[in-house]
Structure 1
């Protein structure tokens, strides 16, 4: 349902996301080559064999800890322009990379913090709706932590870092994750 909401309410913003990609050399190459993030396109056993601290190893550690695979993202159904559909699909498929880079957990607080981060990055209305209504599920203490700690971090880091759809993640597996964060302008929440 959230995926459908994202597709049906975000057309202007998906256009802007595509335009951000077109303004960037790597973004243009991603749009041209249209790589997919799926277990059939990623050598997960190889990534698991990489040294600790590499992006690929940290990504597979995240997948294993969360008991998810790259195959869990719903296929775009309601965006009829092929290029825009690909942009939305790429955004969905990069979600776990965002978790890996930001080191945010997949609990409600972590997901909401990431939605605030994605809101600044993409402008998608569904990220705003999640950010506004998601905290209803939190305790007072969790809400306080979300709005005092995570939201300020997400707004600042998300607006200052590189547009993350312009990263060719598939070429970064053996890169040191700390160096990658530094290059992208991502810093971890305290």
Structure 2
């Protein structure tokens, strides 16, 4: 007769495997729950904000918002309307680019949001200085901006395209952060060039082309000599930034992220 003095090694292995599977299944279930919540919340917000417009009305809104945006670039509401009513082909292009990339697919599936409800800013504040999270917190704090300032889409009729445009708006400050650009006119124009080349959105193209007209002489000289060539090179050769799941990269080193995305920080000679 054999005496069993304790659990055999094989049994212990089965027990540990079962526990690991249980934990993995629990995490997977929680992820699916969060994913479903994000999707339902965005869809509810999309429906409540949506304004039905026909082709003629969209064209009228496009022309009017474009005119106001050129005359007064501070009118963020008009810039938003221009993007929604004239950016259909650009949104489809962005959606297609995201669908072709694993990280982009995950973003589209989970529909994460960048706002104070979804992002723990106090946690980002505590991260090391060389991380994306701390860099983003520093940007928000220095420029006195909030991730809650982005308008919800109103004139986009398709919910998938609506999310793509909403995502573009909500990661705009992260694009500023990643490119090291301030929120002044020179910084905005530089970011708009990168965004225009990557997204094809009409308000980005307009901002890139007409924004420099508002630069002062010193800024214009720096823009032509340093910022513009760098922005064109970065927008043309870096990875598609809409495919970056920023929320999963808060703890990533910025230097590592630059290498991954093929971004070289701008270097301006001292004057």
Other-structure match for 1:162: 239
**Alignment RMSD (CA, Å):** 0.9
Where 1:72 maps in the other structure, the secondary structure is coil
- Structure 2 CA distance, aligned partners of 1:150 and 1:85? 31
Q: 2:107 aligns with which of 30, 38, 42?
A: 30
Quote the residue 2:219 is aligned against: 142
1:144 deviation in Å?
2.4
Give ranges in structure 1 of 5+ residues lacking alignment.
none
Whole-Å separation in 1 of the counterparts to 2:118 and 2:137? 14
Task: Give the Cα separation in 1 of the matches to 2:177 and 2:210.
Answer: 24
Larger mean CA deviation between 122-131 and 85-94 belongs to 122-131
What residue number does 1:90 align with? 167
Stretch moving more, 147-156 or 88-97: 147-156
**Structure 2 residue 153 is matched with structure 1 residue 76:** yes
Counterpart Cα distance in 2 of 1:71 and 1:181? 26
**More relative contact order, 1 or 2 (CA 8 Å, 6+ apart):** 1
Q: How many Å apart are 1:147 and its aligned residue?
A: 2.2
Q: Is 1:47 aligned to 2:124, yes or no?
A: yes
Q: Distance in 2 between matches of 1:19 and 1:58?
A: 30
* Matched pairs, number: 190
Return the offset for 1:149. 1.3
Q: Deviations over 1:106-136 (max 9, x none)?
A: 1100000000010111111111111122122
Largest Rg, 1 or 2: 2
Selected match of 1:57 from 128, 131, 134: 134
SS of residue matched to 2:148: helix
How far apart in 1 are the matches of 2:224 and 2:195?
16
Q: Distance in 1 between matches of 2:215 and 2:238?
A: 28
Q: Scaled by the length of structure 2, what TM-score is found? A: 0.69
State the match for 2:144 in structure 1.
67
Structure 1 residue corresponding to 2:94, chosen from 6, 13, 17: 17
Over residues 14-60 of structure 1, what are the superposed CA-to-partner deviations in whole Å (9 max), with x where a residue is unaligned? 10000000000110111011001010000110110111111100100
